[in-house]
Chains A and B, each alone.
Chain A
């Protein structure tokens, strides 16, 4: 750091106004964490926390804040909802840390109802954005389970996925352009067009960069009209591989499901009364088309040996899944024995990876549930949840959690899949991801050196590269 803490506080005050800068213990302690459960199992003595938290209100203020950070060579951690599960926004650095909370930048800047595009500031929560749009008969085609706890900027920075991803793609397909404040204190905006052929799509530099290249301050997103008709399809399968094959065919059939998941027998049992793998799809639109789509998809379910289940099982699954969120967060925060991770694989390997991970976790004594979803044309994600057997020694819990995580990531690798699908990388799995990215990681680090020569932004992400 260059200068004293007082100097920094003064400069920050000039940048955003005194009421938007804090070093109060309650604030700095709060911002020392995100939703990474493993962090709660780590000794924190002496406690590590940022020195300042600021709440800028606009891109220009973020730019000024970054100028201050540059002048004093601080470490900067952008912070949205803090809902990431991987230690992406919790802090830890040798340098004094400045947290930039984006949530005061929470306005919808423009809604173009003719083109169905909304521009909003990056700190808006998914819940607020969704509410703004719903009353107008619209919604953002992005629905992570953490909707109301996460922000637009956080989605973009982690390239998140949601319940409608199988139809509309991940957030990087929903986003049409961004504004970002760069570490040198400038603001850059990528232009919006339906498509263009004038070079690389530059917004992709920042999508998935987890705050290492700059702070996203606003974005243009596609919005969709709420449809009149939604019909459900539920299919039961003895083998996971059958369900996966059926889903693969559905995804390439042109039926375009919106919600698409495969649930574990334990979960399915609750909704269908059958202990089989349950394929769930919704088809949406108006008129007859969704029904025709459902009927076509049903043929594919039958063709792969599936049984046609009561569609109410599918809608029941969906409702429960949505309502589960809050319970889930509390359970995660309090429980030391629950763990969860998202990995990716192609159609040919999804079932194999799932079986591999399940088998090895169970032999550790874990209870395991899996959900497959977030599909594309080539494959999808596997959400793997485990519960360790009760262990009393907290340090031992930590080690066992690491072991369980390593098993799942290894299963992904063995199946040629991705060790991180959509929930970010953070500290949880940066080593595994680095190894998997190979020279692409070095390229990322090269780009970071260009945009952030002083290494201000989330510096630990590329440390040692």
Chain B
């Protein structure tokens, strides 16, 4: 039915529900909203391909009632809606298809209530991440949620995709910070979940809506926990000979109940190179050799994580690499793996916690590298992620895969993925969201090919290979980026029988399948 109404007719109908400036069918808008930051789309984009499937209409609701009216209209006309926050998602979750209507929530961006005594804030979903922290900071508060995409993502997108910030080890992921939601379901019903010590009958609906990526409801408000802004931060760096030793150190201090804000362990890039070099003469090998040839004189003393950045740079503009390396070389200390740990909070607590962690790390064989690696990390915490475009322009691609599992299988998962994809692309990893029960692994892979067609093929092959390896090794296919379109083929492996429960929820909450269809394997 959606297809039988013309774009103009849709716009007219929507114009009678919303104000004129809340509806657009202008080409620039439709093109702008045809993609999110799924790197596959960026490969196409850099190859100059037109937008694959621009939405018919883009709308900007301003109130919950607007959203209700939109959903009612969508149900009546059977037109799918695609909720859209910052569009920073990397899995195609906010990507529309032909005939669909994009619902951008960024105009719903107000703080509704900042309730300091109860440590919570009620906020609309379109609130920008960085603005949000700035406003909270004025009251000496923080959410503690700092995704690398903080400048370009929204509260609603975080909740919809179960986002994790850089300090998640202390503050939790977004699902740990949310205590209530207002959601408009596919039936146009407004559900308010949670309340302090909520009456306890029935499911915790908050935990069922969080992570549903717009498929069960459109989030129109959230109640989030806030904490006093830390008065002090302590950073320390440690060196390890092997990843396994670094992981063991993390496991030990996490299981002692210690709660660092930042935990980042970077793997030995050199091992990966060695592995790829021993490969089958594939293009990736050639690329590796070529790039490594240029890098040799620099990489020897470099810390692995610097190499990640350096490699990306090498794939695009070597000049860039030189700049990076110049700035960093003096700080580089040697081979092996770097572990950065940060603690924060009230000064005495932050210091005491750092000291306890220090003892545990040394006991586990870590070498003290002092405060500088951590301070350096803090200074550049948001920069690396945004400097990918050069890679794409140079015909290559970079993508990241964040997986997780419990400690008993972590190293196995890490090895399995590396082994599976290293014949195809450069791959490296860091471990950055730790729990007493396990940890996430954040893989970065970079590939290159002569033409976009092959690039896309390679890209798909890498993802299929990697995700298959993850599920075989018992890991989860996503720790915090979500599923969207890119990982949906693996939802059955991910959830087994329990996927049917998700589908059951879909039937209950969105019987007409108008909310973000074609995603998450629903």
On A, residues with C-beta under 8 Å from B are: 112, 114-117, 158-159, 172, 176, 186-202, 204-210, 222, 224-225, 227, 245, 248, 251-256, 284-289, 292-293, 295-296, 343-348, 374, 376-381, 416-422, 424-425, 430, 433-434, 436-441, 443-444, 446-447, 450-451, 461
- Tell me if B201 and A254 are in contact (CB < 8 A): no
> Known: A190-B498, A195-B440. Contact between A254 and B345, CB under 8 A?
yes
> Known: A114-B407, A198-B494. Contact between A450 and B504, CB under 8 A?
yes
Q: Which of chain B's residues 77-96 have a Cβ closer than 8 Å to chain A? A: none
Contacts of B111 in A (CB 8 A): none
Residue of A nearest to B487 (CB): A198
Contacts of A191 in B (CB 8 A): 476, 494-496, 498
> Known: A285-B256, A421-B200. Contact between A440 and B193, CB under 8 A?
yes
- Tell me if B504 and A451 are in contact (CB < 8 A): yes
Residue of A nearest to B223 (CB): A378
Complex-state Cα separation, A121 to B373, whole angstroms: 46
> Known: A116-B437, A440-B191, A450-B508. Contact between A196 and B200, CB under 8 A?
no
Distance in angstroms from B466 CB to nearest chain A CB is: 15
Mark each residue of chain B from 327 to 357: 1 if its CB lies under 8 Å from any CB of chain A, else 0: 0000000000000000001101100110110
- Tell me if B479 and A197 are in contact (CB < 8 A): yes
B268 within 8 A of A: no
On B, residues with C-beta under 8 Å from A are: 115, 117-120, 161-164, 173, 175, 179, 189-193, 195-205, 207-213, 216, 225, 227-228, 251, 255-259, 345-346, 348-349, 352-353, 355-356, 359, 404-408, 433, 435-440, 475-483, 487, 491, 494-498, 500-502, 504-505, 507-509, 520
Return the 9 tightest CB-CB contacts between A and B, nearest first.
A344-B197, A197-B162, A444-B202, A194-B438, A115-B406, A346-B196, A193-B476, A254-B345, A196-B476
Contacts of A374 in B (CB 8 A): 197
- Tell me if B255 and A346 are in contact (CB < 8 A): no
> Known: A193-B476, A194-B405, A418-B197. Contact between A377 and B119, CB under 8 A?
yes
Contacts of A224 in B (CB 8 A): 257, 436
- Tell me if B435 and A256 are in contact (CB < 8 A): no
- Tell me if B505 and A197 are in contact (CB < 8 A): no
Residue of A nearest to B439 (CB): A194
Distance in angstroms from B147 CB to nearest chain A CB is: 12
Residue of B nearest to A187 (CB): B497
Distance in angstroms from B347 CB to nearest chain A CB is: 10
Contacts of B407 in A (CB 8 A): 114-116
Complex-state Cα separation, A76 to B258, whole angstroms: 44
- Tell me if B117 and A348 are in contact (CB < 8 A): yes
Complex-state Cα separation, A418 to B356, whole angstroms: 39
Q: Which of B115, B173, B212, B355 contacts A200 (CB 8 A)?
A: B212
Residue of B nearest to A173 (CB): B176
> Known: A200-B209, A378-B225. Contact between A292 and B348, CB under 8 A?
yes
Between A204, A254, A374, the greatest number of chain B beta carbons within 10 A of the residue's beta carbon is seen for A254
- Tell me if B405 and A193 are in contact (CB < 8 A): yes
Q: Which of B118, B162, B228, B256 contacts A347 (CB 8 A)?
A: B118
Complex-state Cα separation, A206 to B228, whole angstroms: 34
Distance in angstroms from A63 CB to nearest chain B CB is: 12
Residue of A nearest to B213 (CB): A199
Complex-state Cα separation, A189 to B59, whole angstroms: 40
Contacts of A292 in B (CB 8 A): 348-349, 352
Distance in angstroms from B413 CB to nearest chain A CB is: 11
- Tell me if B356 and A377 are in contact (CB < 8 A): no
Distance in angstroms from B374 CB to nearest chain A CB is: 19
Distance in angstroms from B233 CB to nearest chain A CB is: 13
Distance in angstroms from B497 CB to nearest chain A CB is: 5
Residue of A nearest to B475 (CB): A193
Residue of B nearest to A196 (CB): B476
- Tell me if A287 and B359 are in contact (CB < 8 A): yes
Query: Could you list 19 further interchain pairs (A-B, Cβ under 8 angstroms) beyond the known A199-B483, A204-B203, A296-B349?
Result: A188-B500, A191-B495, A194-B406, A194-B435, A197-B164, A197-B211, A197-B481, A204-B208, A205-B501, A222-B436, A225-B255, A286-B256, A289-B353, A296-B348, A418-B198, A421-B200, A444-B202, A447-B504, A447-B508
Between A190, A199, A256, the greatest number of chain B beta carbons within 10 A of the residue's beta carbon is seen for A199
Between B120, B202, B203, B349, the greatest number of chain A beta carbons within 10 A of the residue's beta carbon is seen for B202
Between B175, B192, B199, the greatest number of chain A beta carbons within 10 A of the residue's beta carbon is seen for B199
Contacts of B437 in A (CB 8 A): 115-117, 176, 194, 222
- Tell me if A420 and B200 are in contact (CB < 8 A): yes
- Tell me if A197 and B161 are in contact (CB < 8 A): yes
Distance in angstroms from B17 CB to nearest chain A CB is: 23
- Tell me if B203 and A444 are in contact (CB < 8 A): yes
- Tell me if B497 and A256 are in contact (CB < 8 A): no
Q: Which of B179, B199, B216, B483 contacts A436 (CB 8 A)?
A: B199
Contacts of B164 in A (CB 8 A): 195, 197
Residue of B nearest to A206 (CB): B203
Complex-state Cα separation, A2 to B258, whole angstroms: 58
Contacts of A245 in B (CB 8 A): 117
Distance in angstroms from A209 CB to nearest chain B CB is: 6
> Known: A194-B435, A200-B210, A248-B119. Contact between A439 and B189, CB under 8 A?
yes
- Tell me if A195 and B435 are in contact (CB < 8 A): yes
- Tell me if A418 and B196 are in contact (CB < 8 A): yes
Contacts of A199 in B (CB 8 A): 211-213, 483, 491, 495, 502, 520
Contacts of A422 in B (CB 8 A): 197, 200
Distance in angstroms from B341 CB to nearest chain A CB is: 15
Residue of A nearest to B408 (CB): A114
Residue of A nearest to B434 (CB): A194
Residue of A nearest to B160 (CB): A197
- Tell me if A425 and B201 are in contact (CB < 8 A): yes
- Tell me if B203 and A447 are in contact (CB < 8 A): yes
Contacts of B163 in A (CB 8 A): 197
- Tell me if B408 and A115 are in contact (CB < 8 A): yes
7 A–B pairs (Cβ distance < 8 Å), ordered by A: A114-B251, A193-B404, A252-B228, A380-B197, A417-B196, A421-B199, A461-B201
Residue of A nearest to B353 (CB): A289
> Known: A202-B501, A205-B203. Contact between A418 and B195, CB under 8 A?
yes
